[in-house]
Amino acid sequence: MIYLNGEILPTEKAQLHVSDLGLLRGYGIFDFFRAIDGQPIFIEDHLDRFHNSAKLMGLPIPESREKLREIIHEIIRLNPHKLLGIKMIMTGGYSEDGYTPSPKSNLVVMGKPFEFKPADVGMKLMSMEYRREIPEIKTLNYIVPIRAIQQMKTVGADDVLYYQNGKISESSRSNIFIVKDEKIITPLDGALFGVTRKHILNFAKNHFTVEERDVSTQEYFEADEVFTTGSTKRIVAITETDKHIFGNGGVGKITKKLQDLLLEEEKNNR
Protein backbone atom coordinates (compact mmCIF):
# COMPACT_ATOMS: atom_id res chain seq x y z
CA MET A 1 0.00 0.00 0.00
CA ILE A 2 1.27 3.45 -0.95
CA TYR A 3 0.30 6.96 0.14
CA LEU A 4 -0.24 9.25 -2.85
CA ASN A 5 -1.59 12.79 -2.59
CA GLY A 6 -4.00 12.24 0.30
CA GLU A 7 -4.99 8.64 -0.42
CA ILE A 8 -3.63 5.23 0.55
CA LEU A 9 -3.78 2.98 -2.49
CA PRO A 10 -2.76 -0.55 -3.46
CA THR A 11 0.73 -0.43 -4.99
CA GLU A 12 -0.47 -1.13 -8.55
CA LYS A 13 -2.99 1.74 -8.36
CA ALA A 14 -0.51 4.36 -7.09
CA GLN A 15 0.31 6.16 -10.33
CA LEU A 16 1.44 9.65 -11.28
CA HIS A 17 0.51 11.42 -14.52
CA VAL A 18 3.23 11.95 -17.16
CA SER A 19 3.03 15.75 -16.65
CA ASP A 20 4.74 15.33 -13.26
CA LEU A 21 7.68 17.75 -13.01
CA GLY A 22 9.85 15.13 -11.33
CA LEU A 23 9.62 13.03 -14.48
CA LEU A 24 9.82 15.91 -16.97
CA ARG A 25 12.60 17.97 -15.35
CA GLY A 26 13.89 15.97 -12.40
CA TYR A 27 12.44 18.63 -10.07
CA GLY A 28 11.89 16.80 -6.82
CA ILE A 29 13.26 15.61 -3.49
CA PHE A 30 13.04 12.48 -1.39
CA ASP A 31 14.14 10.94 1.85
CA PHE A 32 14.68 7.35 2.91
CA PHE A 33 14.84 5.58 6.24
CA ARG A 34 14.12 2.21 7.79
CA ALA A 35 11.60 0.78 10.18
CA ILE A 36 12.70 -2.20 12.22
CA ASP A 37 9.95 -4.31 13.81
CA GLY A 38 7.49 -1.51 13.04
CA GLN A 39 9.65 1.21 14.65
CA PRO A 40 11.00 3.94 12.38
CA ILE A 41 14.71 4.72 12.91
CA PHE A 42 15.71 8.36 13.38
CA ILE A 43 12.34 9.49 11.96
CA GLU A 44 12.54 13.04 13.35
CA ASP A 45 15.93 13.59 11.67
CA HIS A 46 14.51 12.40 8.36
CA LEU A 47 11.45 14.65 8.73
CA ASP A 48 13.79 17.56 9.51
CA ARG A 49 15.86 16.86 6.40
CA PHE A 50 12.79 16.36 4.19
CA HIS A 51 11.44 19.75 5.34
CA ASN A 52 14.83 21.35 4.79
CA SER A 53 15.18 19.85 1.29
CA ALA A 54 11.65 21.08 0.47
CA LYS A 55 12.39 24.57 1.73
CA LEU A 56 15.69 24.86 -0.15
CA MET A 57 14.02 23.50 -3.29
CA GLY A 58 11.01 25.86 -2.97
CA LEU A 59 8.56 22.97 -2.82
CA PRO A 60 5.49 23.31 -0.58
CA ILE A 61 4.79 20.15 1.48
CA PRO A 62 1.04 19.49 1.22
CA GLU A 63 0.82 17.89 4.69
CA SER A 64 1.78 19.14 8.15
CA ARG A 65 4.73 17.50 9.90
CA GLU A 66 2.33 15.81 12.30
CA LYS A 67 0.19 14.46 9.46
CA LEU A 68 3.28 13.24 7.59
CA ARG A 69 4.39 11.37 10.71
CA GLU A 70 0.92 9.77 10.93
CA ILE A 71 1.08 8.76 7.25
CA ILE A 72 4.46 7.12 7.81
CA HIS A 73 3.12 5.13 10.76
CA GLU A 74 0.12 4.07 8.67
CA ILE A 75 2.38 2.91 5.83
CA ILE A 76 4.44 0.91 8.34
CA ARG A 77 1.25 -0.66 9.74
CA LEU A 78 -0.01 -1.59 6.26
CA ASN A 79 3.33 -3.06 5.17
CA PRO A 80 4.18 -5.38 8.05
CA HIS A 81 7.76 -6.49 7.39
CA LYS A 82 10.51 -6.99 9.95
CA LEU A 83 12.70 -4.58 8.03
CA LEU A 84 10.97 -1.94 5.91
CA GLY A 85 12.56 0.79 3.80
CA ILE A 86 10.39 3.91 3.72
CA LYS A 87 10.68 6.48 0.99
CA MET A 88 9.02 9.90 0.98
CA ILE A 89 9.11 11.50 -2.47
CA MET A 90 7.88 14.95 -3.43
CA THR A 91 7.94 16.56 -6.86
CA GLY A 92 6.96 19.90 -8.38
CA GLY A 93 3.54 18.44 -9.24
CA TYR A 94 1.66 18.44 -12.53
CA SER A 95 3.12 21.23 -14.61
CA GLU A 96 0.88 22.89 -17.22
CA ASP A 97 3.73 24.06 -19.43
CA GLY A 98 6.11 21.23 -18.56
CA TYR A 99 8.45 23.62 -16.70
CA THR A 100 6.72 25.78 -14.10
CA PRO A 101 6.05 23.98 -10.80
CA SER A 102 2.44 23.50 -9.79
CA PRO A 103 1.32 25.12 -6.51
CA LYS A 104 0.41 21.56 -5.49
CA SER A 105 3.37 19.21 -5.06
CA ASN A 106 2.95 15.50 -5.63
CA LEU A 107 3.69 13.58 -2.45
CA VAL A 108 4.32 9.83 -2.18
CA VAL A 109 5.14 7.73 0.89
CA MET A 110 5.94 4.09 0.24
CA GLY A 111 7.40 1.12 2.07
CA LYS A 112 9.27 -1.86 0.70
CA PRO A 113 10.93 -4.84 2.40
CA PHE A 114 14.58 -4.19 2.91
CA GLU A 115 17.76 -6.13 3.69
CA PHE A 116 21.18 -5.08 4.95
CA LYS A 117 24.38 -6.56 3.59
CA PRO A 118 26.46 -8.33 6.28
CA ALA A 119 28.54 -5.87 8.34
CA ASP A 120 31.79 -7.75 7.68
CA VAL A 121 31.56 -7.22 3.92
CA GLY A 122 33.41 -4.17 2.64
CA MET A 123 33.08 -2.14 -0.55
CA LYS A 124 35.44 -1.03 -3.30
CA LEU A 125 35.18 2.50 -4.66
CA MET A 126 36.13 4.17 -7.92
CA SER A 127 37.04 7.85 -7.61
CA MET A 128 35.20 10.26 -9.85
CA GLU A 129 35.55 14.02 -10.27
CA TYR A 130 32.12 15.37 -9.38
CA ARG A 131 30.23 17.35 -6.78
CA ARG A 132 26.44 17.19 -6.50
CA GLU A 133 24.86 20.40 -7.74
CA ILE A 134 23.18 21.36 -4.46
CA PRO A 135 24.79 18.96 -1.98
CA GLU A 136 22.65 19.93 1.01
CA ILE A 137 19.41 18.90 -0.75
CA LYS A 138 18.44 15.26 -1.17
CA THR A 139 17.28 15.72 -4.77
CA LEU A 140 16.04 13.03 -7.15
CA ASN A 141 19.06 13.56 -9.40
CA TYR A 142 21.52 10.64 -9.38
CA ILE A 143 22.26 10.67 -13.10
CA VAL A 144 26.05 10.90 -12.81
CA PRO A 145 26.54 7.79 -10.61
CA ILE A 146 23.86 5.82 -12.45
CA ARG A 147 25.59 6.64 -15.72
CA ALA A 148 28.84 5.31 -14.18
CA ILE A 149 27.40 1.89 -13.29
CA GLN A 150 28.81 0.26 -16.44
CA GLN A 151 32.27 1.75 -15.87
CA MET A 152 32.19 0.61 -12.24
CA LYS A 153 31.43 -2.94 -13.37
CA THR A 154 34.36 -2.81 -15.78
CA VAL A 155 36.83 -1.79 -13.07
CA GLY A 156 35.28 -4.01 -10.38
CA ALA A 157 34.06 -1.18 -8.12
CA ASP A 158 30.89 -1.22 -6.02
CA ASP A 159 30.35 2.52 -5.89
CA VAL A 160 31.95 5.90 -6.54
CA LEU A 161 33.97 8.34 -4.46
CA TYR A 162 33.35 11.97 -5.42
CA TYR A 163 36.23 14.46 -5.35
CA GLN A 164 36.75 17.94 -6.69
CA ASN A 165 39.62 20.45 -6.40
CA GLY A 166 41.72 17.87 -4.57
CA LYS A 167 39.09 17.24 -1.88
CA ILE A 168 36.80 14.30 -1.38
CA SER A 169 33.12 14.77 -0.50
CA GLU A 170 30.94 11.64 -0.42
CA SER A 171 29.87 8.51 -2.28
CA SER A 172 26.78 8.24 -4.51
CA ARG A 173 24.34 7.46 -1.68
CA SER A 174 26.42 7.58 1.46
CA ASN A 175 28.85 9.72 3.43
CA ILE A 176 32.56 9.03 3.81
CA PHE A 177 34.71 8.96 6.93
CA ILE A 178 38.44 8.37 7.21
CA VAL A 179 40.34 7.17 10.28
CA LYS A 180 43.92 8.30 10.87
CA ASP A 181 45.86 7.67 14.09
CA GLU A 182 42.55 6.85 15.86
CA LYS A 183 41.10 10.20 14.75
CA ILE A 184 37.80 10.16 12.84
CA ILE A 185 37.43 12.72 10.07
CA THR A 186 34.57 13.44 7.67
CA PRO A 187 34.23 16.13 4.99
CA LEU A 188 32.00 19.07 5.78
CA ASP A 189 31.75 20.68 2.38
CA GLY A 190 30.03 19.19 -0.67
CA ALA A 191 28.32 16.31 1.16
CA LEU A 192 24.75 15.65 2.17
CA PHE A 193 24.18 16.05 5.90
CA GLY A 194 23.49 12.37 6.34
CA VAL A 195 21.42 11.29 9.29
CA THR A 196 23.72 8.32 9.95
CA ARG A 197 26.69 10.70 9.71
CA LYS A 198 25.07 13.02 12.27
CA HIS A 199 24.52 10.22 14.80
CA ILE A 200 28.04 8.83 14.33
CA LEU A 201 29.56 12.29 14.89
CA ASN A 202 27.51 12.55 18.06
CA PHE A 203 28.40 9.27 19.72
CA ALA A 204 31.94 8.85 18.30
CA LYS A 205 33.12 11.95 20.15
CA ASN A 206 32.65 10.08 23.44
CA HIS A 207 35.34 7.60 22.34
CA PHE A 208 37.58 9.31 19.76
CA THR A 209 38.71 12.68 18.47
CA VAL A 210 36.28 13.65 15.73
CA GLU A 211 36.75 16.29 13.05
CA GLU A 212 34.41 17.70 10.40
CA ARG A 213 36.60 19.44 7.85
CA ASP A 214 38.05 19.27 4.34
CA VAL A 215 39.72 15.95 3.49
CA SER A 216 42.23 16.00 0.64
CA THR A 217 42.46 13.08 -1.76
CA GLN A 218 46.02 12.54 -0.51
CA GLU A 219 44.82 12.31 3.09
CA TYR A 220 42.11 9.90 1.96
CA PHE A 221 44.58 7.50 0.38
CA GLU A 222 46.86 7.73 3.44
CA ALA A 223 44.05 6.81 5.86
CA ASP A 224 44.34 3.81 8.19
CA GLU A 225 40.67 2.96 7.68
CA VAL A 226 37.87 4.33 5.51
CA PHE A 227 34.17 3.67 5.92
CA THR A 228 30.94 4.85 4.37
CA THR A 229 27.65 5.52 6.13
CA GLY A 230 23.99 5.78 5.21
CA SER A 231 20.50 4.63 6.06
CA THR A 232 20.72 1.75 3.57
CA LYS A 233 24.18 0.67 4.72
CA ARG A 234 24.69 1.67 8.37
CA ILE A 235 28.53 1.57 8.42
CA VAL A 236 30.39 -0.28 5.67
CA ALA A 237 34.17 -0.55 5.45
CA ILE A 238 35.80 0.74 2.28
CA THR A 239 38.47 -1.84 1.62
CA GLU A 240 39.78 -0.49 -1.65
CA THR A 241 39.67 2.64 -3.82
CA ASP A 242 41.19 2.77 -7.30
CA LYS A 243 43.08 -0.46 -6.44
CA HIS A 244 44.63 1.08 -3.29
CA ILE A 245 43.95 -1.28 -0.38
CA PHE A 246 43.28 0.19 3.06
CA GLY A 247 44.85 -1.58 6.05
CA ASN A 248 44.66 -5.34 5.65
CA GLY A 249 41.74 -5.08 3.23
CA GLY A 250 39.10 -5.99 5.82
CA VAL A 251 36.94 -4.16 8.37
CA GLY A 252 39.23 -2.00 10.52
CA LYS A 253 39.14 -2.05 14.31
CA ILE A 254 37.65 1.44 14.70
CA THR A 255 35.12 0.85 11.93
CA LYS A 256 34.02 -2.30 13.77
CA LYS A 257 33.67 -0.45 17.08
CA LEU A 258 31.57 2.27 15.40
CA GLN A 259 29.39 -0.39 13.74
CA ASP A 260 28.59 -1.78 17.21
CA LEU A 261 27.98 1.69 18.65
CA LEU A 262 25.59 2.56 15.79
CA LEU A 263 23.49 -0.53 16.52
CA GLU A 264 23.26 0.64 20.15
CA GLU A 265 22.31 4.15 19.01
CA GLU A 266 19.54 2.73 16.78
CA LYS A 267 18.17 0.70 19.68
CA ASN A 268 18.14 3.77 21.90
CA ASN A 269 16.26 5.76 19.24
CA ARG A 270 13.40 3.39 18.54
Ligand X SMILES: Cc1ncc(COP(=O)(O)O)c(C=O)c1O
Report the DSSP pairing between strands 123-129 and 209-212.
unpaired
Q: Which is nearer to ligand X, 5 or 39 (CB)?
A: 39
Contact code string over 103-142 relative to ligand X, x by CB under 6 A: -----------------------------------x----
- Smallest separation (angstroms) from ligand X to the CB of 138: 6
Calpha distance 146→144 (Å, rounded): 6
- Smallest separation (angstroms) from ligand X to the CB of 125: 13
Q: Which is nearer to ligand X, 27 or 94 (CB)?
A: 27
Residue of this chain nearest to ligand X (CB atom): 194
Contact code string over 67-106 relative to ligand X, x by CB under 6 A: ----------------------------------------
Q: 191 — phi, psi (to 5°)?
A: -115, 155
Q: Which is nearer to ligand X, 105 or 229 (CB)?
A: 229
- Smallest separation (angstroms) from ligand X to the CB of 197: 6
- Smallest separation (angstroms) from ligand X to the CB of 30: 9
For helices 43-57 and 195-204, the axis angle rounded to 10 degrees is 130
Report the DSSP pairing between strands 209-212 and 183-186.
parallel
Applying the rule CB under 6 A, the residues between 171 and 230 that interact with ligand X are: 173-175, 192, 194-197, 229-230
**Binding residues for ligand X, total number by CB under 6 A:** 14
In the list 20, 158, 159, 170, the residue contacting ligand X (rule: CB under 6 A) is: 170
- Smallest separation (angstroms) from ligand X to the CB of 116: 13
Calpha distance 228→246 (Å, rounded): 13
Contact code string over 9-38 relative to ligand X, x by CB under 6 A: -----------------------x------
Q: 135 — phi, psi (to 5°)?
A: -60, -25
Chain positions contacting ligand X, by CB under 6 A: 32, 138, 170, 173-175, 192, 194-197, 229-231
